[in-house]
Amino acid sequence: MAASRSSDGSFGRPEERAVATACACLVFETLGRCGRTLALAQLALCGALEADPLPQVPFFSAVRCDLDDRNAAARAAALLRGRGVVRAGGHLYALTSYDDTAGVVSAGLVALALARLGDLAVDDVPEGRAEPHPRYRCRSLEEYAAGFALPAALALT
């Protein structure tokens, strides 16, 4: 993950950089990378916050919809009136998105990320670079949920 950081040390697409970088900070702390890796991500987070206000990042929930015929997706979409319907793990899921318009989730993630203690003196930064994960190239919430989030969640069950 650390190898996929942007040249400015942040993570994620420009429109979600602060939230993605805050999440990266929390992952580094959880994995025990509390040295320069975390400290540089925290500095990049501060820079992202200076450049732009917290974004209204969409979060989503998914409800499994089991219908047993060929027109299941069309029927589910009609029943759910405009909610996204995606297929993952052989099942249909109705997606409901929530925009964090008040910034409650985003601000909470940022506060938690900056409350961690990153130590610039401890060199734990991995060598090299890697391409960002393909999930950052998704063009829609539905593409992200069907391709990455739901399969990962289903693998845990």
Give the residue, 51 or 30, on which the prediction is more confident.
30
Give every CB contact of residue 115 below 8 A, 6+ residues apart in sequence: none
Residue range 14-42: average pLDDT?
89
Q: What local confidence, expressed as pLDDT, does residue 89 receive? A: 80
Contact 103, 56 (CB under 8 A): yes
Residue range 134-151: average pLDDT?
82
- Say yes or no to pLDDT of 83 above 70: no
**CA dihedral sign, ordered 19, 20, 22, 23:** positive
Give every CB contact of residue 110 below 8 A, 6+ residues apart in sequence: 18, 19, 22, 45, 49, 54
pTM equals: 0.71
Q: What local confidence, expressed as pLDDT, does residue 126 receive? A: 75
Residue range 82-89: average pLDDT?
72
Q: Which strands make up the sheet holding 58-65, listed edge to edge? A: 58-65, 91-99, 84-88
Assign residue 101 a region (left: φ > 0; alpha: ψ between -120 and 50; beta: otherwise). Answer: alpha
Q: Where are the domains of the chain?
A: 1-56+101-126, 58-99+133-157
- Averaged confidence pLDDT in the chain: 81
Whole-number Å distance between alpha carbons of 118 and 95: 37
